[in-house]
Structure 1
Amino acid sequence: MSSIQYKYKPENLTLSEPVKYDASKLKTEEMLINIGPQHPSTHGVLRLEVVTDGEIIRDVVPHMGYLHRCFEKHAQSVPFNQAIPFVDRLDYVAAMNSEHAWAMGIEKMLGIENDIPKRVEYIRVLVAELNRIASHFIAIGTYGLDIGAATPFLWLFRDRETIMRMLEWASGARMLYNYIWIGGLFYDLPVGFEEKCLEFVNYLKPKLVELRQIIIENHIFIKRTANIGVLPLQMAVNYGCSGPVLRGSGLKYDLRRVDAYSVYPEIDFEIPVGKGEMGTVGDCWDRNNVRVQECDESVKIIEQCLEKLTKEHKRDRSFDPQALVPKKIRPKAMEFYCRAENPKGELGFFFKTNGKSDIPERAKVRACSFNNLSILPEIAKGTMIADLVAIVGSIDVVMGEVDR
């Protein structure tokens, strides 16, 4: 066997001797790293400017402004009813919930909120809760991908696809529905929708048990998320957080109960909160556990809506879901704020009207993802880069309503 010949051989180097360093002369050096805006784990076009000392994060600065949704300018250029397709594009994975908030706000401005037929109200809550489950499935499934679990993502998107097809059956659109109109609905539910929906709910119940077993109760998942990204309750309140991010920190605050809008006061459901079962209250595990529990509660709400729609507020040929839809929407001169519980938190709309036009003088969005994302610099400091991905995923942001 021929030996390897080296052209250069250091004279005083013995490979068996360890290289010695003087620790007192070592200096830490901070680096500036950009994560995003196209990185998949940033959940959209979000750029994170991260200051690191080795693997430890010293500071995080979120930079938004890549989608340029321009919702508020659009809403100030068209009549109230024509803005609903733009509302869909805010939180585009929970469009039904956003439409519900917009329609309820304008109905209150017009003073017709108590005249909406009960069947319309129950249909609105039904489709909104279906969309809530679909939104949470995206949050939980993509979060699994973020931290290395591929199977839950595939399973959740399989079941989410059924919800998307049902909402498409009702509205004619797959994601951006324009289904909940001011004063009513685009159309009544298709014949057979209630039966198919109940069939899906019965199928989904054991799947949610499997979801808890393969993710929430998984030992690796717990080790990866417990005691990571802890958000103290007081900080969550100070930053205006809402939704699962706030409830994960232990506060039982849900606008479906606090404001008691639509027919939610007539429906029995619980409000899950973080309890620190696997780590510290308000950590990444708690936020995801709250979302899984909310899927269980949404199933209960859907079942009760289906019972009301099939027994008390039945389908009737004389029923017109557009009977109260106004031809011209012209509220009195006022400043008005309305809000509703979206899957990600409190979605609010502020309007300023002059009483002469059906186009608002000012339309402003209170985006839940924007407030929730603002806590990132606080809870990410001192963590590792790998944990930053876990923290961002646990917040569940959609950039469509952040860059609005």
Structure 2
Amino acid sequence: MPVEIADQTIIEFDVRTDEMLVNMGPQHPSTHGVLRLVLRTDGEIISEVVPHLGYLHRCAEKVGENVTPIQYIPYTDRMDYLAGMNMNLGYSLAIEKLAGLKIPEKAQVIRVLIGELNRVASHLVGMGAYGLDLGSFSPFLYAFREREHILDLFEEVCGARLTYSYLTIGGAHDDLPPGFLDRVKNFIAYFRPRIAEYHAMLTNNHIFVKRTANIGVLSKDRALAYGCTGPMLRASLDRSKGDPDWDLRKIEPYSGYETYQFDVPLPPFDKAPPGTVIGDCWHRFYVRMLEVVESLKIIEQAVERYPTAAGSHRVEPPRALPPGECYVETECPRGQMGFYVVGRPSKENVPLRVRARSSSFCNLSVANELCKGCLIADVPAIIGSIDIVMGEIDR
């Protein structure tokens, strides 16, 4: 590189840089599980990020082809283990569609109520862990304080706090216990005023905004090209340009979601801090925060409907799977989770094929595009904004 100095002498400098491959994970806390990222760096600048999977593989799909559908429900809990109720529901809907099973209204209301509670609990973990990734410990403690109340409710209905197997084929495993609805109302009354605390600690925090604004920007076209769904996609949409409310609970409703009143949060947001752009890390975080508020609205409506809902909490599933195939997607906290099941008549009532379409897998696949040109310090901010769960990806 030629440099001209004061006496007009030209000196040639040979400036060279070396690329390095740096392992981030699988033990790194910011990878949100046993994920290994191989970073190709030039100094502090990222030129490539390659996710390596396989550290949690459990052959979940092949297991589904060797057990009966009802025996497979516990395996779905261990996919997205932060949203086990939603995983239970997706697989159950697939089996019910294949068998032509009609679910009673009461069971549908229970599913919506429990599923939305699990969505809130999942987003709380995502929000708290994201704050931890960026150096703020308090939001993590606050989020788990609120999540414990939801886990107490889940423990009442099924006896478990993480892997539930409660929403099952035909409805729900048990009816809601006495006094459960009052405890849900008390939780909502306790939780709703505390949402402002999260906005004070993170959403509007100057340091948090600087770490997330205009970082890891994902355009709508790129999000669709990579098959991104859920908050990952919705944070890249623009309502002012006519982008749709891309939420399966709205566009392809199931379990009676079409009868509930709620909004789908989409940018642009009036309260977006200066420097943020649609599709960046801040918007992905904020969409999840707004979804928590919408889930509370749905929960309140389900609580009001339950006492007058007709039917039982469950109907007996068929003893044999009919031949044929079906595919069902549901809107889980991290995006669209799909289950594909091929039935066959047999004494064992075991599916011929079981496959799962993971939302987190597709969302993670865009990590390389998001991290190119960013600093090493931005990688935890970008990966954390994707909000992955490795059990769902590496099933």
TM-score over 0.5 for the pair? yes
- The CA deviation at 1:104 is 1.2
Equivalence for 2:313? 321
Query: Map of 1:240-259 to 2, 5 A cutoff?
Result: 240-250=227-237, 251=243, 252-259=245-252
Q: Of 264, 288, 291, which aligns to 2:257?
A: 264
Q: Equivalent pairs: percent with the same residue?
A: 47
- The CA deviation at 1:327 is 5.3
Change (3 A) 1:214 1:156: same
- Contact 1:275–1:286 (CA<8 Å) still a contact in 2? no
Residues 203-235 of structure 1, C-alpha deviations (whole Å, 9 max, x = no match)? 111111221222111121111101000001000
Q: How many correspondences in the alignment?
A: 374
- Contact 1:91–1:98 (CA<8 Å) still a contact in 2? yes
Residues 302-327 of structure 1, C-alpha deviations (whole Å, 9 max, x = no match)? 000001113x228xxxx6433x2225
Whichever residue aligns with residue 163 of structure 1, its letter is I
Rounded Cα–Cα distance in structure 2 between residues aligned with 1:350 and 1:313: 30
SS in 2 for 1:98: helix
2:169 aligned with 1:182: yes
Q: Which runs of 5+ in 2 are unaligned?
A: 1-10, 238-242
- Contact 2:110–2:313 (CA<8 Å) still a contact in 1? no
- Contact 1:181–1:325 (CA<8 Å) still a contact in 2? no
SS in 2 for 1:174: coil
2:107 aligned with 1:116: no
Query: Map of 1:2-401 to 2, 5 A cutoff?
Result: 24-112=13-101, 115-250=102-237, 251=243, 252-275=245-268, 277-278=272-273, 279-310=276-307, 312-313=308-309, 320-322=312-314, 324-326=315-317, 328-331=319-322, 333-356=323-346, 358-401=349-392
- Contact 2:98–2:321 (CA<8 Å) still a contact in 1? no
Rounded Cα–Cα distance in structure 2 between residues aligned with 1:57 and 1:386: 10
Equivalence for 2:3? none
- The CA deviation at 1:335 is 2.1
Whichever residue aligns with residue 336 of structure 2, its letter is E
Residues 175-212 of structure 1, C-alpha deviations (whole Å, 9 max, x = no match)? 11111111121100110000000000011111112212
Rounded Cα–Cα distance in structure 2 between residues aligned with 1:89 and 1:329: 25
Rounded Cα–Cα distance in structure 1 between residues aligned with 2:330 and 2:16: 51
Structure possessing the higher radius of gyration over alpha carbons: 1
- The CA deviation at 1:354 is 2.5
Whichever residue aligns with residue 125 of structure 1, its letter is V
Detail structure 1 runs of 4+ shifted over 4 Å in the superposition.
Answer: none
SS in 1 for 2:13: helix
Rounded Cα–Cα distance in structure 1 between residues aligned with 2:16 and 2:252: 55
Rounded Cα–Cα distance in structure 2 between residues aligned with 1:69 and 1:300: 36
Rounded Cα–Cα distance in structure 1 between residues aligned with 2:186 and 2:364: 37
SS in 1 for 2:392: helix
- Contact 2:104–2:312 (CA<8 Å) still a contact in 1? no
Equivalence for 1:3? none
- Contact 2:218–2:279 (CA<8 Å) still a contact in 1? yes
SS in 1 for 2:216: coil
Rounded Cα–Cα distance in structure 1 between residues aligned with 2:39 and 2:148: 35
Whichever residue aligns with residue 263 of structure 1, its letter is G
Q: Which runs of 5+ in 1 are unaligned?
A: 1-21
The worse-fitting range, judged by mean Cα deviation, of 194-203 and 347-356 is 347-356
Rounded Cα–Cα distance in structure 2 between residues aligned with 1:181 and 1:61: 37
Residues 144-190 of structure 1, C-alpha deviations (whole Å, 9 max, x = no match)? 00001111110011000110111111111111111111112110011
Rounded Cα–Cα distance in structure 2 between residues aligned with 1:80 and 1:95: 16
Whichever residue aligns with residue 294 of structure 2, its letter is E
Rounded Cα–Cα distance in structure 2 between residues aligned with 1:43 and 1:105: 29
Rounded Cα–Cα distance in structure 2 between residues aligned with 1:102 and 1:163: 23
Residues 248-305 of structure 1, C-alpha deviations (whole Å, 9 max, x = no match)? 1015200011111111111000001232733111000000000000000000000000
Rounded Cα–Cα distance in structure 2 between residues aligned with 1:327 and 1:274: 44
The worse-fitting range, judged by mean Cα deviation, of 163-172 and 274-283 is 274-283
Whichever residue aligns with residue 313 of structure 1, its letter is A
RMSD: 1.4
Whichever residue aligns with residue 400 of structure 1, its letter is G
- The CA deviation at 1:23 is 7.8
- Contact 1:198–1:303 (CA<8 Å) still a contact in 2? yes
SS in 1 for 2:66: coil
Rounded Cα–Cα distance in structure 1 between residues aligned with 2:19 and 2:206: 34
- The CA deviation at 1:88 is 0.5
